[in-house]
């Protein structure tokens, strides 16, 4: 059993399964990766405690960000190797005067700290990869993301990033609502609350997406190719 499922009471899990939830989908042939908000503003600088990271950037998630970062980098590399689109999102706090904030939190957003919207070096976008700036939690809300994916003939959207309970979840629900086969990579997502991380992975897996680990996703996407890879 996955770690994030262990917080779910057994009787509730059984009820979901009996109700037809928790099914897994087959991954499509035309996949795209959406990397949600993995910037310093939502991570904090490497080496800081959670409290220190929050003092630096209010929305930061601290150490869990950097524990997850190598797996996110590996996931991005996988999509690049396969020649599949990678889309990055980040918040656009400068637009709050027009669009309001992405959440109801009372943190200051009218002054953008230096590096808030910068991506860590290990996952920086390559030339030609789209960086989509958004004003709300979902990467799809009043953005051209759905149109972009349709133009690319994408049938499956894979989502990773931060926070599992916030912008990741909102983007996953909207990906599903827009008709895309939707996958979440559990060990490539993170949240400042482990409880919220686990509960939202459970709920997304039950209703809107198939939740897989990086290894499970790689196996599905590469299939027989994995046996032929160097070192396999």
**Which residues are annotated as catalytic?**
167
Q: Up-side HSE of residue 115: CA atoms within 13 Å toward CB? A: 13
Q: Are 173 and 138 in contact (CB under 8 A)?
A: yes
CA dist., res. 47 & res. 191, Å (int) = 17
| β-strand pairing of 181-190 with 156-162 | parallel
Q: Are 88 and 131 in contact (CB under 8 A)?
A: yes
**Considering only CA atoms, which of 201, 222, 223, 203 is closest in space to residue 212?**
201
CB neighbour list of residue 72: distance below 8 Å, 6 or more residues apart:
35, 38, 123, 160, 161, 188
* 89 strand-pairing partners: 36, 132
């Amino acid at each position: 059993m996955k770690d994030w499922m262990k917080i779910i009471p057994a009787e509730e899990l059984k009820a979901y399964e009996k109700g037809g939830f928790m099914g897994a989908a087959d991954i499509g042939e035309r996949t795209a990766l959406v990397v949600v908000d993995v910037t310093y503003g939502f991570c904090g600088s490497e080496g800081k405690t959670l409290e220190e990271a929050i003092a630096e950037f209010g929305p930061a998630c601290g150490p869990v960000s950097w524990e997850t970062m190598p797996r996110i980098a590996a996931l991005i590399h996988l999509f690049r190797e396969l020649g599949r689109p990678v889309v990055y999102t980040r918040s656009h706090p400068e637009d709050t005067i027009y669009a309001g904030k992405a959440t109801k939190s009372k943190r200051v957003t009218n002054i953008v700290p230096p590096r808030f919207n910068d991506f860590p070096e290990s996952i920086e976008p390559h030339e030609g990869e789209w960086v989509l700036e958004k004003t709300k939690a979902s990467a799809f809300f009043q953005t051209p993301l759905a149109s972009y994916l349709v133009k690319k003939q994408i049938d499956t959207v894979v989502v990773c990033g931060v926070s599992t309970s916030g912008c990741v979840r909102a983007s996953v629900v909207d990906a599903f609502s827009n008709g895309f086969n939707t996958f979440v990579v559990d060990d490539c997502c993170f949240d400042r609350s482990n409880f919220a991380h686990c509960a939202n992975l459970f709920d997304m897996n039950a209703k809107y997406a198939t939740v897989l680990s990086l290894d499970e996703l790689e196996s599905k996407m590469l299939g027989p190719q994995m046996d032929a890879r160097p070192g396999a």
